[in-house]
Amino acid sequence: MTKTYLQAINEGLRQILTTIPESYILGEDVGTYGGGFGATKGLVADFPDRVLDTPISEAAITGVATGSALLGKRPILEIQFSDFLTVAIDQLVNEAAKIHFLSMGEQSVPMVIRAASGSGTGASSQHSQSFENWFAHVPGLIVVMPSNAYDAKGILVAAVKNNNPVLIFEPKSLYKTAMPVPSELYEVPIGQAKVVQSGSDITIIALGRMVEVAKTVASQTDISIEIVDPITISPLDIETLAASAKKTGKVLILTEAVKRSGISGEILAQLVEGGFSGQIKRLGGYFMPISAAKSVELAQVPTVDEILTTIGTMMEEV
């Protein structure tokens, strides 16, 4: 059945609450309002004691989630905009991510944080940032970014069952995109990349909403493009990425997040350190705040024309 990205998440949350009694949802406006973007719509009516509205304090919410996870619950915390993770960073980075290590493996923090991420909706500089780069740098955190409705539901289910803190960055510009999504409960493996489209001339490694951009690029050229979606940013499935790179001999890495100090540089480094000697380039967001002006915002991340030009240049080079 065809479902939007948000509908898939909503269905996944309902099935998780039904089948995993330790799970519960907390966050700002997740109850009657149905969540900042509607992901929790209707859930509080059926689970009034397990869908909890909270005060406007991301630090407090994350602290409550961390503590309850230590006591055996499996909280699913919604952060309305990933930008607001900056308010929760102490609890998340200095506590949740460290407890398993500091307890010598005796304690776990099985919690999930969902965060609406990225640009493309005209939400301006404080509501459009892409912070997956930050959190992929933190040992103890699992960081994922589903690029479609099917993966969004499956990754969510896998994340709730995982015994580590999992941070899910959901590209909010994809919330209304739709595709066939099974109605039953299923999992998408954490830590496993996916070849979205096979090709022979060049590999595009695309993260988040850049996967859809890469598909558009592929439809507008005769160049045979292989598209690979890492899905999980940390831990990174470098083996799948490297296999595709070896197959085509050319790699372009696409991210919406700013290119400087980003995950694209890490992927590039790991490929080169692993022995890849072919052509490799990367495109990412400009090193500047996201503009509220739509025309400017769209030009601040890799565009179809920019990608086509870059690929054309790479194909001309020996």
Residues with catalytic annotation? Answer: 127
Assess contact for 13 and 64: CB atoms under 8 A.
Answer: no
How many beta carbons lie within 10 A of that of residue 222, not counting itself? Answer: 6
On whether the CB atoms of residues 32 and 2 are closer than 8 A, the answer is no
Four-residue CA torsion sign, 242, 308, 211, 225:
negative
Q: CA 190, CA 236: separation in Å to the nearest integer?
A: 9
Helix (H), strand (E) at residue 88 = helix 85-89
Q: What residues does 179 pair with on adjacent strands?
A: 3
Task: List 202's β-bridge partners, or say none.
Answer: 225
Q: Report yes or no: 250 and 239 within 8 Å, Cβ to Cβ.
A: no
Query: For residue 300, which of 80, 86, 118 has the smallest C-alpha distance?
Result: 118
What SS3 state is found at 279?
strand
CB atoms within 10 A of CB 32: 12
